[in-house]
Amino acid sequence: MRSETFILIPGRSTEQGTSVGDKSSAQYREVTRTLRVNPADLARLGLRAGDRVRLRAGRAEIEVTCVSAGNELPSGMLFIAYGPESSRLLDGETHGTGMPDSKGIEVEMVVSPPAADAGGEPPEE
């Protein structure tokens, strides 16, 4: 298992703005549990679209599915649509505004080895 620190930007996704209205739908759950990652970061971490990772911020942890962000995000930044998952990562600090910080959250991405690598056998050299 390995981890790396990223900056997470939660926000309203295009799907949320155009086609996902019912927050109890499977489509809403999929949209809000999908993490957009820079393609170079995916490659460096050995991840592919559809792989699952954990994000940690403070004491909170969520599990999400990765997809490529294409050229929408610079390396080191992540995007997730607003929803129950992203809300778990907010720390509640409002700086007197009544609204918790929801942008630029430092998170640790935890990448588990693929199932084939997790069997206990050392890799061949």
Mean pLDDT of the region 64-93: 88
- Give the pLDDT confidence score for residue 83 in this predicted structure: 86
Beta bridge partners, 4, equal 109
Which DSSP letter does residue 114 get? P
Is pLDDT of 47 > 70?
yes
The second-level CATH assignment, the architecture, of 2-115 is Beta Barrel (2.40)
- Give the pLDDT confidence score for residue 49 in this predicted structure: 94
Domains of the chain, by residue range, sit at 2-115
Cβ contacts of 19 within 8 Å, gap of 6 or more: 27
d(CA 87, CA 85): 5
CB 118 within 8 A of CB 19: no
CB 8 within 8 A of CB 105: yes
d(CA 39, CA 70): 6
- Give the pLDDT confidence score for residue 65 in this predicted structure: 96
CB 80 within 8 A of CB 10: yes
How sure is the predictor about 93, in pLDDT bands with cuts at 50, 70 and 90?
low
